[in-house]
Amino acid sequence: MRGGAIPVLAWACLLAVLMTGNAVWTGDAIQIGEYGFAVLTIVLVAAALVRADRTAIRRGAPEAPSRPRVEASPDLSFAAVLAAIALASILFGLTWAYFLVYFGAGLLIMSLGRLALELQAARASRERFERGSPPERPERERLP
Amino acid sequence: MSATAPSVSTVSRASGLFGAAASTDHKRIGLNMGLASLLFFLGAGVMALLMRTQLAQPHVRFVSDQTYNELFTMHGSTMIFLFVTPMAMALATYLVPLQIGASSISAPRLALSAFWIWLSGGIIMQLGWLTEEGAGRSGWFAYVPLSNSANTPGVGQDLWTVGVILAAGGLTIIGGCVLATIARRRAPGMSMMRMPVFTWTGLVSVLMVVGSFPVVILAMSLLYAERLGARVFIGYSGAIDYQDLFWFFGHPVVYVMFFPFLGAAAEAIAVNAHKRWFGYAAFVASMLAFAALSMSVWSHHMFTTGGVTNQYFATTSTALAVPAGIEYFDMVATLIGGAILLRTSMLFALGFFLQFLIGGLSGIFVASPVLDYHAEDSYIVVGHFHYTLFAGSVFGFFAGVYHWFPKVTGARLREGLGKLHFVLLLVGTNMTFLPMFFLGNDGMPRRIAEYPNHPGWGTLNLLETVGAGVIALGVLAFLVNVVVSLRNREVAGEDPWLGHTLEWATSSPPPRHNFERPLPPITSYAPLLDLRERAQRDASAVRVPAGRGGRGPWPQEGAP
Ligand code: HEM
Ligand SMILES: [Cu+2]
């Protein structure tokens, strides 16, 4: 989208200048390493934005799209919640009760399966919408 | 894409506990994160009261030394990782899509996951209280070698480390979602230079989150490995390396805990002064510079270690005063000539700016290595950062709460109780934290559970403890206000304050996809103010109303 990458890139430039000062003045490997990581991350964010949409680097306001873009937006996602809890139980299991690592790993696999179902349902409902029949509670049919 | 693109709901809007827990609506996620942060705030506040009880007089034996260590560690960590930083992200998650006219947040599933990852981290950190050796107890920055398994044995410190990894991970992810939303989901017409002030403060905050939070995840992972027996941070240079990694996150995070609340206070001031925020372009430029500088000052926390190049960090730290000065200039210029209404949100916003000044000015002192040799590890430092975090950010947070509560709930908070809340907090804050500068200057070290009976120390410490109690009363007044206002609702309507930004152009609370009517034309960073001013111009071309007194030519509200 128009302009989205400009402040990110501008900020990356500011950081790069300050980092150069740090590198010259301190010459400290760890400091240069971590600061370099930060600058690189921000540059990569800007690059990803431009890659996704070339106008992201052009000034000006986003224009109204000529044709409304349709996107399926989920209202609920149990996959997302499960994945988070799976990750937490793996790390918790490492410190406290080791069996939780296995539990978390199982949960993670389940959540990925669930995510696949959710994405499939979202795609189906978008396609139905584009064919002109707005669906009534489409996921209900498939996901309890 | 924003309001012009219809989006399809794939499941009907769910209600109930499951619906609230698994909703991908950015408003629900933001609200959940905010409410959970508030609970953590209350918990950390209780820890603070326990510490203040212990410190009320010299030689009180209320808690053991070990418990005191746990208390200050968990109080600080909870306040930072589980209250102020996530609250900043929660505000951004809730408000940014509304302010830029978007119908939803980017990657909503990821944002939902981020909330749960962060919350799990918070709970895991607190579980340390239930372990035999107690909760984390090597300070909120857990310096090695103090935090290694030889010096701080026990599961509690492990849980603390894992909790920080998860909390920081969740915050990084949700910051990324906000960043993507700003870059990719603005409404037609919403150029970067028309984004509201709060959104800009949110943008620079999430840039810092994305650039610096991964480093603390690395630091904590290495600390975890160290605790498991790997030799990662060896000797003096290892200790310095750890500090370098920690503070590369640790300083930026204090600005993540500042900018969004600055944005909230700025919005409250502009709306309550019935003027647009002054000096927008300079403000935006100074925010970018501010954020970049604050990525470059981290080793000012290590001046006295002898392990870093103090000159570079003293220079960058002192330079912070320049963008900070621009913010203050903009604030004052916004007030000048405004028709100022002293609502509770305005009082808190002014409190934020005035008290943060004390925090900021004391910051210039400790940014000087020479003076910092005197201040380091004394109560001067504790006073400094509580003036920035409590007297600053928390006041800005409450300005935001009184400002946006009607938008979020559809009901206004009571003004009378709000002003009581403000006065109690103002008095309590200064009673608690101002004496710290004198005690610190007089040599009282931080992180001690007991102190000698020096002349004056008992009195000043007692004053602080009483002040902490007054703060607690203030927070109580706030909670009562919330309950009363939600039980006995004064309906707010869409736009109770004559707001400037797009969140006031939709119902309260906003519908699932934020805007059901077409957005007003986005002509500047205050589109609703533009609309009113244009209507005013058109009307005054016909007839100029006389005798309005000094209040200026804007429409008058019915409300206090
Ligand atoms: C409710 C009012 C508060 C009171 C009465 C209070 C009181 C205290 C006390 C007594 C200490 C211990 C000082 C020491 O022994 O060195 C402390 C430490 C600390 N507080 Fe607060 N505090 C409050 C609010 C906050 C808030 C809102 C924050 C926000 C982030 C915060 C962050 C910290 C930090 C980071 C530490 C340092 C912990 C450490 O040394 O590792 N406090 N506070
Ligand atoms: Cu700092």
Give Cα A19 to chain centroid, integer Å: 27
Residue A64 belongs to a domain:
no
Report CA(B72)–ligand 1 centroid distance (Å): 7
Distance, in Å, from the CA atom of B207 to the CA atom of B220, rounded to the nearest integer, reads 21
User: Residue B222 in contact with residue B232, Cβ under 8 Å?
Assistant: yes
Nearest C-alpha neighbor of A118 from the set B25, B10, B512, B114:
B10
Q: What is the CATH number of domain B23-253?
A: 1.20.210.10
* CB B301 less than 6 A from any atom of ligand 1: no
pLDDT tens digits, residue range B494-528? Answer: 999 999 999 999 999 999 999 999 999 999 999 99
Of A14, A28, A129, the CB nearest to B292: A14
pLDDT tens digits, residue range A38-53? Answer: 999 999 999 999 999 9
Same domain, A51 and A93: no
- pLDDT at position A141, please? 35
CA distances from B164 to B126, B142, B212 (A): 11, 11, 14
Q: What does the pLDDT average to over B160-173?
A: 98
pLDDT tens digits, residue range B366-419? Answer: 888 988 888 989 999 999 999 999 999 999 999 999 999 999 999 999 999 999
CA triple B436-B439-B445, angle to 5 deg: 95
pLDDT tens digits, residue range A55-65? Answer: 999 999 998 88
Q: Which residues contact B419 (CB under 8 A, 6 or more apart)?
A: B344, B347
Give Cα A114 to chain centroid, integer Å: 18
Nearest C-alpha neighbor of A26 from the set A35, A38, A14, A39:
A35
Name the band, by pLDDT with cuts 50, 70 and 90, for residue A135.
Answer: low
Q: State residue B154 phi and psi, 5-degree precision.
A: 115, 155
Q: What is the CATH number of domain B258-300+310-491?
A: 1.20.210.10
- pLDDT at position A131, please? 84
Q: Where are the domains of chain B?
A: 23-253, 258-300+310-491, 493-560
Q: Which domain holds residue A24?
A: 5-57
For ligand 1, atom 34, name the residue with the nearest CA: B76
Name the band, by pLDDT with cuts 50, 70 and 90, for residue B540.
Answer: confident
DSSP bridge pairs for A73? B9
* CB B37 less than 6 A from any atom of ligand 1: no
Report CA(B48)–ligand 1 centroid distance (Å): 7
How many domains, chain A?
2
For ligand 1, atom 26, name the residue with the nearest CA: B390
Q: Say whether pLDDT at B432 is over 50.
A: yes
Residue A100 belongs to a domain:
yes
For B72, left (φ over 0), alpha (ψ -120 to 50), or beta?
A: alpha
Cα of A103 to nearest chain B Cα, Å: 15
Ligand 1 mutation pick, B51, B75, B83, max ligand atoms within 8 A of CB = B75
- pLDDT at position B352, please? 97
Residues of chain A found within 8 Å of residue B120, distances taken between Cβ atoms: 84-85, 87-88, 92
Distance, in Å, from the CA atom of A67 to the CA atom of B172, rounded to the nearest integer, reads 34
pTM listed for this prediction: 0.93
* CB B461 less than 6 A from any atom of ligand 1: no
Give Cα B164 to chain centroid, integer Å: 18
Distance, in Å, from the CA atom of A44 to the CA atom of B214, rounded to the nearest integer, reads 15
pLDDT tens digits, residue range B77-100? Answer: 999 999 999 999 999 999 999 999
Q: State residue B474 phi and psi, 5-degree precision.
A: -60, -45
Atom of ligand 1 nearest to the CA of B77: 35
Same domain, A82 and A39: no
Atom of ligand 1 nearest to the CA of B389: 29
- pLDDT at position B543, please? 53
Domains B23-253 and B258-300+310-491 share a fold: yes
Distance, in Å, from the CA atom of B26 to the CA atom of B232, rounded to the nearest integer, reads 40
Distance, in Å, from the CA atom of B367 to the CA atom of B301, rounded to the nearest integer, reads 9
Q: How many Cα atoms sit within 13 Å of B343 on the Cβ side? A: 26
Q: Give the count of beta carbons closer than 10 Å to the beta carbon of residue B231.
A: 10
* CB B79 less than 6 A from any atom of ligand 1: yes
User: Residue B417 in contact with residue B480, Cβ under 8 Å?
Assistant: yes
User: H or E segment at B364?
Assistant: helix B344-366
Distance, in Å, from the CA atom of B476 to the CA atom of B560, rounded to the nearest integer, reads 23
Q: Say whether pLDDT at A67 is over 90.
A: no
For ligand 1, atom 41, name the residue with the nearest CA: B139
DSSP bridge pairs for B9? A73
For tokens 């009907």, the residue is B12
* CB B248 less than 6 A from any atom of ligand 1: no
Q: Give the count of beta carbons closer than 10 Å to the beta carbon of residue B482.
A: 17
- pLDDT at position A43, please? 98
